[in-house]
Chains A and B, each alone.
Chain A
Amino acid sequence: MLNSVKGMMLTLASTFQGLKKPVTREYPKQPTPVQPRFMGFPALTWDNDVDEPFCTGCMVCIRNCPTQCMSASMMDNPLNEEGKSHRRKIVDYFEINLNRCILCGICVEVCNFDAIVMSHEHEMSTYERNGDRVDLPALLDIGKKYQRETAWIPPTVLAKAKKEAEDAARAAAAENAEPAAAAQEAD
């Protein structure tokens, strides 16, 4: 009996605390913010410098997808012929069946061109059975939205900058060490 009262007290205390500081959210009205690393549906990125997609349609993501949810094809890049772009090939057609996608992020990891990202999009229910089969323009739209919202920098650019900074730091350390070593030798 006493134990039941004790249990009741715990519940009561928690109720009052919950009224003061609620844990639950009224989800559709009050959306939960996602974490920066959140993996939503995959999307294709847009190269704003050249005004074309990063994707060259090389199909490495398609070969590595565990569920085979994508398909793509490539074509000769007209902008390359005009000399505006360094990409000789460009994506012609790209489709992802988001109903099949398991959001594993393997496509992003294997991509050599920073062309695909896991966007923060996760509310994409539709009324049609094939409504979640998104094509190239739609994927690029999601990608552009993601790039805009997160101030996206291509990972290879980030890695390059990081490596350069490390190299510079190492060179500086070596320079500092050299006079010290010389001083020691002189002693």
Chain B
Amino acid sequence: MAEDRTGLATQAQMNAEPVEMLLNMGPQHPSTHGVFRMVLWVDGEKIVDVEPHIGYLHRGSEKLCEGEQYHQIITLFDRMDYVANFNNELVYCQAVEKLMGLAVPERAEYVRVILCELNRIASHLLYVGTIGLDAGAMTPTMFAFRGRERIQSLFEAISGARMMHNYFRIGGVKEDLPDNFEQLIAELLPLLKEDVEESDRILTFNEIFLTRLKDVGSISAEEAIDFGFTGPCLRGCGVEYDVRKAQPYSVYDRFDFDIPVGLDGDCWDRHWVRVQEMYESLKIIEQALEQIPEGEVVSSLGRRLIRPPAGEVYVRAENPRGEIAVHLVSNGTDRPYRLKVRPPSFCNLSAIKRLLYESWIADSVVILGSLDIVLGEVDR
């Protein structure tokens, strides 16, 4: 080594000491699920330290909310978690309704629940597709997107848009379901069930997939709670916590469904919980379709200029990614004084340093994928 002609060998290399190397990953990396950048300190193939960089998708949504009227803010919430738009609209509408003391018609609540649960399945299907890609399988993406496409076509028939719906209103929903809705959903549900089962069959207990995900990125329940984990990431650790059960909102207390819970808190458990949640969502949709009453879909008060009384509320709901919460401060005008969002992916992402520590470079992609982040929500 002393005669190295390139003259690049350092003293450390000559002594065969471990050398830390800096490795940049993202923001333009297909496995960072958007524009997320990680600076990895690696020692050989082991990750020693991580520095996450967020903010590449920062649009200042919370500040923008202060300049928009209450009915315009729904469009901003569509764009926060752009994979689960209906769930985001729901939590904002609920916050304003709670502040105004507005009662939502029964039918509207059921419509909201059905759409939110369909959106949850669509979001988890996207997750199944991307975790497949992260683990090195291309096929699940194609399968999952087929199911997601079907759900989005239904959304288009109901709200007029495939992703940015702007369908929920303060005090109900924009308009009633289309006349052929029953036929559409009757066609969709069996196909969707097949899609969910297929995405489960192709990946969950696949041998390669199991070896890639099992015992990778484990975190204990205590630590997960300390990091503020919610949603499937927390349930994967064995904590039975779901806002839909813990503090039922909308009409969720009328449905019979289980909370799937993992054991070890590793990547595979988080994956398993999400897959099981799709089955539970299907159960909720079926029950909601049976119970849905006739009637109005929007409260007459919601049609007027919305001007909630001065005060503040904190409302939370279960997103596909975890617990989303809105802290809304009103000063009695037609625009909010402050609107703070607690985004689930942001809190789940906070543990990335702990999860990646001492793991392999090849696993970093899977660990990040299993957290199922949406950068639109992390950066807001």
**Interfacial residues, chain A to chain B (CB-CB below 8 A):** 1, 3-4, 7, 10-11, 14, 23, 34-39, 64, 66, 102-106, 109, 118
* Cβ < 8 Å to A, chain B residues 136-178: 139, 143, 146, 149, 153, 156-161, 164, 166, 174, 178
Q: Is B202 an interface residue (CB 8 A)?
A: yes
Option from A3, A14, A37, A66 in Cβ contact (under 8 Å) with B206: A3
Could you tell me the dominant secondary structure of chain B's interface residues?
helix
Find out whether the CB atom of A35 lies under 8 angstroms from the CB atom of B198: no
Find out whether the CB atom of B174 lies under 8 angstroms from the CB atom of A109: yes
List 15 contacting pairs A-B, 8 Å CB cutoff, sorted by A.
A10-B201, A14-B198, A23-B149, A36-B157, A36-B178, A37-B159, A38-B161, A39-B160, A39-B161, A66-B75, A66-B76, A103-B161, A105-B174, A106-B75, A118-B160
Question: If the complex has contacts A35-B156, A36-B178, are A102 and B75 also in contact, measured as CB distance less than 8 A?
Answer: yes
Option from B153, B156, B202 in Cβ contact (under 8 Å) with A7: B202
Q: Is B286 an interface residue (CB 8 A)?
A: no
Find out whether the CB atom of A38 lies under 8 angstroms from the CB atom of B75: no
Find out whether the CB atom of B139 lies under 8 angstroms from the CB atom of A11: yes
Option from B146, B156, B159, B206 in Cβ contact (under 8 Å) with A4: B206
**Interfacial residues, chain B to chain A (CB-CB below 8 A):** 68-69, 71-72, 75-76, 139, 143, 146, 149, 153, 156-161, 164, 166, 174, 178, 198, 201-202, 205-208
Find out whether the CB atom of B207 lies under 8 angstroms from the CB atom of A37: no
A-B contact count (CB 8 A): 61
Could you tell me the dominant secondary structure of chain A's interface residues?
loop
Find out whether the CB atom of B146 lies under 8 angstroms from the CB atom of A23: yes
Find out whether the CB atom of A104 lies under 8 angstroms from the CB atom of B208: no
| Complex contacts, B153 vs chain A, CB 8 Å | 35
CA distance A10 to B68 in the complex (A): 50
Closest B residue to A4 by beta carbon equals: B207
Would you give the shortest CB distance from A66 to chain B, in whole angstroms? Answer: 4
List 3 tightest A-B contacts by C-beta distance, closest first.
A39-B160, A3-B207, A66-B72
Find out whether the CB atom of A3 lies under 8 angstroms from the CB atom of B164: no
CA distance A38 to B160 in the complex (A): 4
Would you give the shortest CB distance from A122 to chain B, in whole angstroms? Answer: 10
| Complex contacts, A3 vs chain B, CB 8 Å | 205-207
Closest A residue to B137 by beta carbon equals: A7
Find out whether the CB atom of B164 lies under 8 angstroms from the CB atom of A104: yes
CA distance A81 to B146 in the complex (A): 58
